[in-house]
Amino acid sequence: MTGGDGLLRDAVAARERPLVEGLSRWVGIPSVSTDPERAGDVAASAAFLRDYALACGMTRAEVWETSGHPAVFAERLVDPRLPTVLVYGHHDVQPVDPEAEWDLAPFVPLERDGQLLGRGTADDKGHILMHLEAVRGILDARGQLPINLKLIAEGEEEDGSEHFEELVRAHRADLAADVAVVSDTGMLAEDLPALTVGLRGLAYWELGVQTAETDLHSGVYGGAVMNPLAVLSEMLAGLHDRHGRVTVRGFYDAVRELSAEERRQLGAVPFDEAGFLAPVGAAAGGEEGFSTMERRTIRPTLEICGIWGGYQGLGAKTVIPARAWAKLSSRLVPDQTAPQVTEAVGTHLRSVAPPGVRVDFRLIHDGPFVLTPTDHPAVRLAAEAVAAVWGREPVYIREGGSIPPVATLAGELGLPCVLFGVGLPEDRIHAPNERVVLAQLFRGMQAVAGMWDLYAAAGVEGLSPRPD
Ligand code: BES
Ligand code: ZN
């Protein structure tokens, strides 16, 4: 690091407490994008972020309406000759159910043992404020940023990013940049920094089966009619064989198998399988012949995310329901596509349903897999910035989660995407007691401050891949 960096470091570190305080206030706004009753809160969250961005020194900040929930755009443009970085994050959060399992009120954040607990602390509000408070720290130290910085924070990432492509198309000029830095991912452990270079895609469906026009008295009709819960259970139970493989014909057709060398590299990532499962008390499962790391990153899945139907109230009700439902999803790997897998799974489900059973299978949302090159200069320089803060070279990892907007940023804007996030596997994102490790956010602030200096030093030219 060069002279004056002690000053920068201190000024960025001085933003640690403001970050915790700001994040606590923001987490207090329950921006659950999948809940229509929370639409007002998602809008309030957007307004909060706009104001926060201005307070941190962004010179333009706007709420961008969509046909769904609003996004927030902010920028600080310094000089057109400098590289322009577009930071992506999302300000919406997942629902909190099952709420009884939280140690705290999910939207009344709690600071405990160096962590901040609350819905959205890690996924993804903490990441956005990590960037904005770093901006404030850099400005405090130097009065100006070394690059042009833009921020786009989406308001419906957790609900499938339905309007993101439209939004990007409508604001192409505003969003133009040299590189996108997406901060919505994590690392393997606090002392094991990582950059993500692959994400799985997603297809999410709802399945309904109907066996009668109406609910039926289980004594009058029982024994003589089909039961939709039993039919559905059997259909779902048959989706995997006893080796953990998906039984759907064609499901694996497009899967790009890894070479022995690629598998060796993945196996060399220091990943503690027991340490990954134990903190969440999870029973290991999955496809035979693959490691836990492979199962969760390079293999596709077909999961049952929810199942319901029939009587759920107090006491007994002797009834055979007319319908039963399930929510299913697949994580997709290169080169699977959502339409291809949807077709395969839908055909399978319709073919295994007994005669007379009506099957309704619908896609709810989807997003493609992502692979980013590890040898792109923007990724290399990000790795250098991370190494300078963590004191160790980051490993390149693939993640099992999905961020559909990454493909939009790459496809619509032609941007190389650097996936830099500071989450940890034990952050319990999407689950009760979500938390963020504050030290990770603090290191993250230092890392992005360092990254912008390295990008500035490389210049626009140095940030493009060398022509072969
Ligand atoms: N931050 C996650 C994605 C993620 C999770 C990346 C873990 C790396 C590690 C993101 O907010 C998310 O949850 N995405 C959804 C996308 C879906 C709703 C289309 C996901 O993966 O389920
Ligand atoms: Zn999420």
Residue 270 pLDDT:
87
CA nearest to 367, candidates 343, 333, 398, 397: 333
d(CA 35, CA 334): 31
pTM summary value: 0.92
Ligand 1 atom nearest to 204, measured from its CA:
19
Q: Which residues contact residue 192 at a Cβ distance below 8 angstroms, ignoring those fewer than 6 apart?
A: 270, 392, 395
Ligand 1 atom nearest to 402, measured from its CA:
21
- Read out DSSP for 15-58? THHHHHHHHHHHHTS--BTT-GGGHHHHHHHHHHHHHHHHHTT-
Averaged pLDDT in 10-residue chunks for the chain of 468 residues: 76 98 98 98 98 98 98 98 98 97 98 98 98 98 98 97 97 98 96 96 98 98 98 98 98 94 88 87 94 95 98 97 98 98 98 98 96 94 98 95 96 97 95 98 98 98 82
Write down the domain spans for the chain: 2-199+369-462, 201-262+293-366
Are 200 and 402 a contacting pair, CB within 8 Å?
yes
Residue from 161, 184, 420 to probe ligand 1 pocket by mutation (most atoms less than 8 Å from CB): 184
Which bound ligand lies closest to the C-alpha atom of 161? 1
pLDDT tens for 143-192 read 999 999 999 999 999 999 999 999 999 999 999 999 999 999 999 999 99
Architecture of domain 2-199+369-462: 3-Layer(aba) Sandwich (3.40)
In this structure, the strands spanning 110-112 and 115-117 are antiparallel
- Ligand 1 contacts CB of residue 367 (under 6 A): yes
Q: What's the CA-to-centroid distance between 158 and ligand 2, angstroms?
A: 6
d(CA 116, CA 111): 4
Which two three-digit tokens encode residue 25? 């206030």
Judge if 2-199+369-462 and 201-262+293-366 fold alike in CATH terms. Answer: no
- Ligand 1 contacts CB of residue 399 (under 6 A): yes
Longest C-alpha distance within the chain, in Å? 85
d(CA 33, CA 203): 18
Residue 244 pLDDT:
98
Are 46 and 38 a contacting pair, CB within 8 Å?
no
In this structure, how many other beta carbons lie within 10 angstroms of the beta carbon of residue 386? Answer: 26
Residue 37 pLDDT:
98
- CATH no. for 201-262+293-366: 3.30.70.360
Which two three-digit tokens encode residue 172? 């192409």
DSSP state for residue 248 in the 8-state scheme: S
pLDDT tens for 314-351 read 999 999 999 999 999 999 999 999 999 999 999 999 99
The environment of the single-atom ion ligand 2, i.e. residues with CB closer than 5 A, is 123
Residue type, 140: D
Residue 468 pLDDT:
60
C-alpha to C-alpha distances, 186 to 92, 153, 358, 386, nearest whole angstrom: 18, 18, 42, 13
Q: What's the CA-to-centroid distance between 112 and ligand 2, angstroms?
A: 22
Ligand 1 atom nearest to 331, measured from its CA:
21
C-alpha to C-alpha distances, 453 to 13, 80, 85, 103, 139, nearest whole angstrom: 17, 16, 12, 41, 13
